[in-house]
Amino acid sequence: MSKNIKKKTIIIYSLIAAFISSLCCFAPIIFVLLGLATASTAAFWGNYLFFGYWWLFLAIGIFLIFIFLLIYWRKHQVCTIDSAKKNRRKIINSFLLSISIFIVFYIFIEVLWELIWIKMGMSDGEIFGFVANLTL
């Protein structure tokens, strides 16, 4: 298998993990765009999920990277400790590549989320004020 195809597979796995970990912030926007929720409801759920459970979504994403890399290396016949020692550099490089892509894409999604909320006319203060009014 060529190196180019291997890198594409690792990149795809990393993007999937980053997308799943960013669902705490991105899912409410998808609901608004599909017409399943209003902007105020999406703002409430976005803040609730982000400020309450962002660490859980991030942990799930990192866990998925480990699972995807384990599946990836099992497909490439790295199943024993001896074969893992032989391919140590490749395993470390693939892990560093996937974590780097994960971090960059996760930050990109977070910034995109903020820009979409600003474009919709809701600044951070309005979103936080809305949530504060709901809890009073």
CB 49 within 8 A of CB 24: yes
pLDDT tens-digit readout, 71-90: 888 888 787 888 888 888 88
Q: What is the pLDDT of residue 63?
A: 92
Give the chain's residues under pLDDT 50.
125-136
Burial class (CB in 10 A: 0-12, 13-18, 19+), 61: buried
Domain boundaries along the sequence of the chain: 3-135
DSSP state of 136: -
pTM above 0.75, yes or no: no
